[in-house]
Chains A and B, each alone.
Chain A
Amino acid sequence: GAGVSQSPSNKVTEKGKDVELRCDPISGHTALYWYRQSLGQGLEFLIYFQGNSAPDKSGLPSDRFSAERTGGSVSTLTIQRTQQEDSAVYLCASSSRAGQGYEKLFFGSGTQLSVL
């Protein structure tokens, strides 16, 4: 596709349920990021994938959060046993990491997660 695609765009779930959020990065982009943005706040880094390297999971807020990236392309962010404080917009971004000395991130439109 032309840009980063995220699905679903909106997700409403009940407290305690598991949710999966999907990100399709731009074709050929080796780096993929997940961010979380709570209402009125900045972007909080969650996890970073780069090629075949081990992901940087340092931003994941608890062990209820996990992410995978299969085949170096599509990524899924899973939140188990959701809590109301997990309600936020979850943003995915990708970049080419072309070694040019700088990096442009391309963001998707996000998934608005609401935990009731």
Chain B
Amino acid sequence: DAKTTQPPSMDCAEGRAANLPCNHSTISGNEYVYWYRQIHSQGPQYIIHGLKNNETNEMASLIITEDRKSSTLILPHATLRDTAVYYCIALSNSGYALNFGKGTSLLVTP
């Protein structure tokens, strides 16, 4: 499964959109992009996934570039409760999640 690269940390003001980037330049055609987040002292929580089309659910939007080499998770109106570590992973349907990297630590400030 493709390696992903994320910035170690980001800040966002409460109420603003948080845009979290992920690079997955070696992604193959059958690999999905998944996002999870981990709030302090809890297990990670699934947020969203996509293959090539942009996706939206009640938690976030996922924008995948046309060449699929990168993606952006968008939290449209960040709240203090969105402060967490966000993990981006690429996974095929025949594979299974191996290591999650260190992700991006998002701090939402008042």
Contacts and interface: CB of A to CB of B under 8 A. Distances in A.
Interface of A: 4, 31, 33, 35, 41-45, 48, 50, 56, 59, 91, 93, 99-110
A52 B32 CA distance: 25
B93 A43 contact: no
B49 A43 contact: no
Contacts of B100: 35, 42-43
Contacts of A31: 96
B32 A102 contact: yes
A102 B33 CA distance: 9
Contacts of A45: 97-99
Interface string B21-42: 0000000000010101000011
B110 interface: no
Interface of B: 32, 34, 36, 41-46, 49, 51, 87, 91, 93, 96-103
A105 B36 contact: yes
A35 B36 CA distance: 15
A110 B44 CA distance: 10
B56 to A, nearest CB: 16
Contacts of B87: 42-43
Centre residue among B34, B36, B42, B43 by max chain A CB count within 10 A: B43
A42 B99 CA distance: 8
